[in-house]
Copies of this chain bind each other. A is one copy, B any other.
Amino acid sequence: MAEPLFRRLALLGIGLIGSSVARVARERGGLAAEVVACAKTGRTLARVLELGIVDRVEESPEKAVAGADCVMLCAPVGAYAALAQTIAPHLAPGCILTDVGSTKQSVIRDVGPLVPEAVHFVPAHPLAGTEFSGPDAGFAALFEGRWCLLTPPAGTDADAVERMAEFWRRCGSMVTTMEPAHHDRVLAIVSHLPHLIAFTICGTADDLEGESRQEVMQFAASGFRDFTRIAASDPVMWRDVFLNNREALLEMLARFTEDAQAMARAVRWGDAAYIEDRILRGRKIRQSLIDLKQA
């Protein structure tokens, strides 16, 4: 067993991701000698105590971060600004402030200016999740074989970045660093747009007249079902992701919409060659994923 990387890890928010980190720390060791959890509701904290996955719970973020040498924001990204404001004066000198949010420019915009001089700020994004949420949904294997992207602002202490990289490697992840703006563009197309589309088509189906709506459910296995799984994800988390990656998401949605309109035009005018070509490109992408063992 490796020596723990941190003496005390404070998790601000303990849903799917936070509770999975807590379980890695508890079940495998090597992350932190002590784990403190803070959540918005007493109900969540009570449940976390019942689950026995952390050493201590705190209702106040200030108390949770006191004396911690690693503080990890695991709340929806829209809550970061207020959280950072609350905890900034209570962060221990030399501690690492990190997060797990799906948008990174917004985190640097909202949290960056509030980080005290003596604190290292290392934004991170573990690309892992399921359609379930809350502290019961977490599990220690969640991060295994998945990427974790670090987006440290220019000038961040290299040792702090390496410690967070090692943290995620000990969770089983592959780690790389990325420019925050590039991160947000890539995630817009691989994750945020697919989720927006999935939520939208579920709403479109929900708006159908009674009888058809019922049959959508009955015959969902014909393709629709594949879209609904990711549409079951946490609403507040995704609302915040959309609002905090606005420009990249709107650009990718605009590109997608242009392409869908071109497809619609081809369907309307019977342009068989165009349709077939677009379908073949879809297959090619799928084949690339299979070749890269990402399918």
B283 & A204 in contact (Cβ 8 Å cutoff): no
* Residue in contact with A268 in the complex, picked from B195, B212, B250, CB distance below 8 Å: B250
Give residues 262-295 of A contacting B (CB, 8 Å): 263-264, 267-268, 270, 272, 275-276, 278-289, 292, 294-295
- Write 16 A-B pairs (CB below 8 A) sorted by A numbering: A127-B219, A182-B212, A186-B212, A196-B263, A197-B227, A198-B282, A199-B282, A202-B282, A203-B259, A204-B256, A216-B285, A226-B229, A231-B285, A235-B276, A238-B279, A250-B267
Apart from A187-B222, A199-B282: 4 A-B pairs, beta carbons within 8 A: A197-B227, A218-B292, A232-B287, A235-B279
Q: Of A199, A208, A238, which is in contact with the most chain B CB atoms at under 10 Å from its CB?
A: A199
A51-59, A106-114, A163-171, A241-249: which lies at the B interface? A241-249
Q: Mark A199-242, 1 if CB is under 8 A from B, else 0.
A: 11111111110011001111111111111111111011011001
Query: With A191-B223, A253-B260 as given contacts, are A212 and B185 in contact (CB-CB < 8 Å)?
Result: yes
A282 & B228 in contact (Cβ 8 Å cutoff): yes
Mostly, the A contact residues are helix
Provide the bound-state CA to CA distance between A288 and B214, in Å.
10
Residues of B within 8 A of A261 (CB): 257
Binding site for B on A (CB under 8 A): 78, 127, 129, 131, 146-147, 182, 185-187, 189-208, 211-212, 215-233, 235-236, 238-239, 242-243, 246, 249-250, 252-257, 259-261, 263-264, 267-268, 270, 272, 275-276, 278-289, 292, 294-295
Residues of B within 8 A of A216 (CB): 186, 189-190, 285
A217 & B288 in contact (Cβ 8 Å cutoff): yes
B200 & A278 in contact (Cβ 8 Å cutoff): yes
Residues of B within 8 A of A260 (CB): 196-197, 200, 253, 257
B228 & A295 in contact (Cβ 8 Å cutoff): yes
Residues of B within 8 A of A195 (CB): 223
B284 & A206 in contact (Cβ 8 Å cutoff): yes
B264 & A225 in contact (Cβ 8 Å cutoff): no
Query: With A228-B295, A275-B242, A292-B217 as given contacts, are A285 and B202 in contact (CB-CB < 8 Å)?
Result: yes
Which residue on B lies nearest to A246, using beta carbons? Answer: B267
Q: How far is the CB of A206 from chain B (nearest CB, A)?
A: 5
Residues of B within 8 A of A287 (CB): 232
Residues of B within 8 A of A235 (CB): 276, 279-280, 283
Q: How far is the CB of A244 from chain B (nearest CB, A)?
A: 10
